[in-house]
């Protein structure tokens, strides 16, 4: 076959692998993940429709651009993350060609193409450092109103820098990992008491996955330097124990209330796949300092949803985030701290301005004043044992544009362990 | 030679390797580090006097207890950290025997025993997650008085749990790595401005190095479970940009002000070596909740010093820390978060009650009210470019007890990089 000169984002592309219109994994997506067939070692693959393309086999067959041998036979994306933008893009192009009708792989079964429901999806990369931001103006305003009713909703620094904190990389888990209700010290009748969290919440976020690396002690990255340093994105649920948080967090910030589990989607959707969905972000006033200035488009037009036990309880958009992922990266490196491949940046809870567009239960229920009513007749303010929360997110899917999504990012609450 | 049945901590032990009385590295110490001979790959070694014993050679010669092949040929201690207490202790005993007079190694030179000043000392382990605490009552009280002069010096949670936050593992560097003055947003005449930090400070800390591992989702560790999970300790300098910190830290805690560099000593002194120096900690009132209760002795009797450009500016003791490292570990795992080998816990700044026993310049100078006068006639509130800060620390060294120390943990301030 002659090489097809359409780019991997061309909306007219089709694949010899069947892809439902409602699938997150159109041939324009090609998200990376790590999967394991029963009894085999983990390998890197790409999702296409209901299948996974085994990249370790494709690599061994010499069908990919030059890269260190066994890059995709690894149990994590990190060796690939290290290689940088040129290799990421050329690899994406090669995979796109292989999945188009008429490619040498067409009709391959079993070995190279495996149904997703026959494999286990693992955490796609080893997380270096995990930093979590607070970059939705609506979310920060909502929490400010709840926790500081007599003060300004936004603190004085909020519009000058993307406020953030460091999290615990070791507790980042992949979708479907059970989330055990944490225990901790919280106030009961005004006195600290140790026991199971009573205000277990979620935070709907999008995580930025860094590739390449940047040395410590150097200049910071600019907000426009994302191309070389941002590999892609995951959905991220920053499970939060609100009662533990309110007792522990002064003066050094959230600690154990957010470090028992952070769930990410099994699929990393690349920046390359999402380029057609970069859009202008909200106007920033005051204008950010020069090192945080970004040229537009800086925001990602993703539709996001939260599902509780099968009922969609929030629908929101990622494009309205005040601070963009590029600005978060510029901020994070502005002190000279550098970054490593596999570092993960949480966007902060994504909340919109309307009721039903908030990314946490504390906001959706306004601290319990308006509990959610579920179809089974029960109510929720915070999560019960056995509840399942699934985050979903995608770009496109309308006006003839393919759907470029993450799959589900879900977790079910297991009861607190007896001590 | 017959096996000598004295334990590795026996104060009468001597070595065939010469050890000065003032050395931190008596035969009772045997701290682990990672070193590199010029042109060779990094290996694990143990410090003895002015030398390093190359453990990769000792292991290959079959002189150590059973362990996975190449454990000490690794560029980091992590493979050894994974093995757990029984192997740590039997390995320590074997090394102690090999260094006593009459051992089969006596007189070995060149290959197995190399002068420290002929090698490069590297970061001894890959840091998993780094959490930093705030466990000195004097330090927390001093900072509370400075930053909240009208309120209670200690916040309501402080005596109920060891307050802490997560840091950035990727910026932990070994002693002698230059520390580039960070840049960031700080208030200048009341307005945020981006530029080099003007209030660069240190925090004198002791880091706890975790070995073994503990699964997420399980019960928390008890404060007495340290034996199986604490491998040892390092000196730790939590360099802090006070002006960046005061602008950024509300409401989510310190972020960029503390994630440009954290310096640790090249030598990890083991819990086994420090057992003779476990002492009772300060009385805790109110008594901690059951999951944080520790049986005594819970504290470590270390003498600590801060040297600025060769002048000792602070002398303090680690035994007075309100919350112990065992209690910090119990707290950290109490939410079910687990830990990995190589996780690092900063003690928090070690400050004593007397003038001259504080572990930071902001305390030593009381925010600049009492600048330090140096022998060269200059004054310091915060650090100047070119300044060198060295932390020192040891147990013993008096009353015929051997000195069990860390060596120097130092860094020199390099000017902020031009943007």
Prior bond to A286 cis, omega within 30? yes
HEC string for A329-385: HHHHHCCCCCECCCCEEECCCCCCCCCCCCCCHHHHCCCCCCCEECCCCCEECCCCC
CA–chain centroid gap for A353, Å, is: 21
pTM beyond 0.95: the answer is yes
Q: Which site among A81, A141, A181, A252 would you substitute to test the B interface, given the most B Cβ atoms closer than 10 Å to its Cβ? A: A252
Question: Which residue is closest to B286 within chain A, CA to CA?
Answer: A192
Rounded-to-integer distance, Cα A281 and Cα B317, Å? 52
Asked if residue A339 lies in contact with residue B169, where contact means CB atoms within 8 angstroms, the answer is no
Whether A139 sits among the annotated catalytic residues: the reply is yes
Quick check: A332 and B134 CB within 8 A?
Answer: no
CB B208 within 8 A of CB B345: yes
pLDDT at A248 (0 to 100)? 97
Chain B residue closest to A156 (CA)?
B247
The beta-carbon neighbor of A160 closest among B155, B183, B185 is B185
Cβ pair A289:B241 closer than 8 A: no
Residues of B involved in catalysis = 139
Size of interface A-B (CB pairs under 8 A): 205
Of B129, B171, B257, the CB nearest to A168: B129
Alpha-carbon span A163 to A185, nearest angstrom: 26
Q: How far is B215 from chain A (nearest CA, A)?
A: 10
Are A341 and A80 in contact by the 8 Å Cβ rule? The answer is no
Contact state of A170 with B343 under an 8 Å Cβ cutoff? yes
Measure in Å the smallest separation between the Cα of A181 and chain B Cα atoms: 8
Q: What is the pLDDT of residue B82?
A: 97
- Pairing state of beta strands A344-346 and A130-133? parallel
Q: Are B47 and B33 in contact (CB under 8 A)?
A: yes
Q: Residue B224's pLDDT is what? A: 85
How far is CA B162 from each of CA A185, A251, A252, A259, B288, rounded to the nearest angstrom? Answer: 11, 12, 11, 15, 10
Instruction: Return the pLDDT at A40.
Output: 95
Local structure of B358: helix, strand or coil: coil
B396–chain A nearest CA distance, Å = 34
- A129 and B256 within 8 Å at the Cβ level: the answer is no
Picking from A116, A231, A133, A129, the residue whose alpha carbon sits closest to that of residue A175 is A116
Q: Which of B167, B194, B241 sits opposite A166 (nearest CB)?
A: B167
Closest Cα of chain B to A296: distance in Å?
22
pLDDT in tens, chain B (419 residues): 457 899 999 999 999 999 999 999 999 999 999 999 999 999 999 999 999 999 999 999 999 999 999 999 999 999 999 999 999 999 999 999 999 999 999 988 778 999 999 999 999 999 999 999 999 999 999 999 998 888 899 999 999 999 999 999 999 999 999 999 999 999 999 999 999 999 999 999 999 999 998 988 878 898 888 888 999 999 999 999 999 999 999 999 999 999 999 999 999 999 999 999 999 999 999 999 999 999 999 999 999 999 999 999 999 999 999 999 999 999 999 999 999 999 999 999 999 999 999 999 999 999 999 999 999 999 999 999 999 999 999 999 999 899 999 999 999 999 999 86
Of A251, A289, A338, the CB nearest to B170: A338
Q: Please tell me whether residue B144 adopts helix, strand or coil conformation.
A: helix
Query: ipTM of the predicted structure?
Result: 0.96
Q: What is the rounded distance in angstroms from the CA atom of residue A282 to the CA atom of residue A319?
A: 8
Do residue A168 and residue B131 have CB atoms under 8 angstroms apart? yes
Q: A272, exposed or middle or buried, with CB in 10 Å at 0-12, 13-18, 19+? A: buried
SS3 at position B273: helix
B340 contacts A220? CB cut-off 8 A: no
Quote the Cα angle for A285-A288-A291, to 5°: 170
- Give the Å distances, CA to CA, from B120 to B41, B126, B135, B177: 11, 17, 33, 11
- Please report which residue ranges of B265-334 form alpha helices under DSSP H: 271-274, 325-333
Confidence (pLDDT) at A419: 66
Residues of B in contact with A252 (CB under 8 A): 134, 163-165, 253-254
Q: What are phi and psi of B90, to 5 degrees?
A: -70, -35
User: Which pLDDT value is given to residue A209?
Assistant: 98
DSSP A118: G
B249 and B184 Cβ atoms separated by less than 8 Å: no
Of B197, B151, B202, nearest to B363 (Cα)? Answer: B202
Residue A27 near residue A13, CB atoms below 8 Å: yes
Question: Which of A182, A219, A418 has its CB closest to that of B419?
Answer: A219
Residue B2 has what pLDDT? Answer: 57
Alpha-carbon gap: B140 to the closest alpha carbon of chain A (Å): 10
| Residue B358: burial class (beta carbons within 10 Å; 0-12, 13-18, 19+) | buried
Kindly give, in sequence order, each residue whose CB lies less than 8 Å from that of residue A119, ignoring residues fewer than 6 positions away: A35, A36, A37, A52
Task: At B56, list the tokens.
Answer: 């990769």
Contact by Cβ (8 Å): A245, A103: no
- Chunk chain A into consecutive blocks of 10 residues (it has 419) and report each block's average pLDDT, rounded to whole numbers: 84 96 97 97 98 98 97 98 97 98 87 95 98 97 91 94 98 98 96 97 98 87 88 98 96 96 98 97 97 95 98 98 97 95 98 97 96 97 98 95 97 91
Q: What SS3 class is residue B49?
A: coil
pLDDT tens, position by position, B241-300: 999 999 999 999 999 999 999 999 999 999 999 999 999 999 999 999 999 999 999 999
**Short-list B396, B407, B405, B393, CA closest to B10:** B396
Chain A residues near residue B155 by CB distance under 8 angstroms: 250-251
């Amino acid at each position: 076959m002659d090489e097809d000169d359409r780019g991997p984002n061309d909306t007219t592309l089709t694949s010899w692998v069947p892809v439902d219109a409602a699938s997150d994994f159109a041939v324009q997506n090609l998200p990376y993940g790590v999967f394991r067939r029963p009894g085999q070692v983990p390998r890197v693959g790409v999702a296409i429709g209901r299948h996974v393309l085994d990249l370790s086999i494709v690599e061994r067959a010499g069908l990919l651009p030059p890269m260190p041998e066994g890059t995709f036979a690894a149990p994590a994306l990190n060796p690939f993350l290290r290689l940088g933008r040129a290799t990421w893009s050329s690899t994406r192009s090669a995979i796109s060609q292989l999945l188009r009708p008429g490619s040498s792989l067409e009709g391959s079964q079993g070995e190279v193409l495996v149904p997703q429901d026959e494999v286990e999806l693992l955490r796609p990369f080893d997380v270096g450092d995990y930093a979590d931001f607070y970059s939705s103006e609506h979310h920060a305003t909502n929490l400010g109103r709840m926790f500081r009713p007599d003060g300004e909703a936004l603190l004085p620094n909020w519009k000058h820098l993307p406020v953030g904190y460091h999290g615990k990389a070791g507790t980042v888990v992949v979708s479907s990992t059970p989330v055990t209700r944490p225990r901790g010290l919280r106030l009961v009748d005004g006195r600290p008491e140790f026991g199971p969290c009573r205000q277990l919440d979620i935070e709907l976020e999008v995580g930025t996955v860094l590739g390449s690396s940047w040395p410590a002690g150097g200049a910071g990255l600019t907000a426009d330097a994302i191309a070389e340093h941002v590999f892609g994105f995951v959905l991220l649920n920053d499970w939060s124990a609100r009662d533990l948080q309110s007792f522990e967090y002064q003066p050094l910030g959230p600690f154990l209330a957010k470090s028992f589990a952070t769930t990410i989607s099994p699929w990393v959707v690349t920046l390359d796949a999402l380029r057609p969905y970069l859009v202008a972000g909200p106007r920033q006033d005051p204008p950010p300092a020069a090192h945080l200035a970004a040229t537009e488009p800086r925001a990602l037009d993703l539709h996001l949803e939260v599902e509780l036990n099968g009922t969609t309880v929030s629908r929101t958009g990622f494009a309205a985030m005040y601070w963009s992922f590029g600005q978060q990266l510029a901020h994070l490196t502005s002190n000279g701290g550098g970054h490593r491949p596999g570092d993960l940046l949480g966007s902060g809870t994504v909340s919109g301005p309307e009721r039903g567009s908030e990314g946490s239960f504390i906001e959706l229920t306004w601290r319990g004043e308006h509990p959610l009513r579920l179809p089974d007749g029960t109510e929720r303010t915070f999560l019960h044992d056995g509840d399942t929360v699934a985050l979903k997110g995608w770009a496109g899917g309308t006006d003839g544009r393919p759907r470029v999504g993450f799959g589900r990012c879900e977790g079910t609450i297991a009861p607190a362990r007896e001590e």
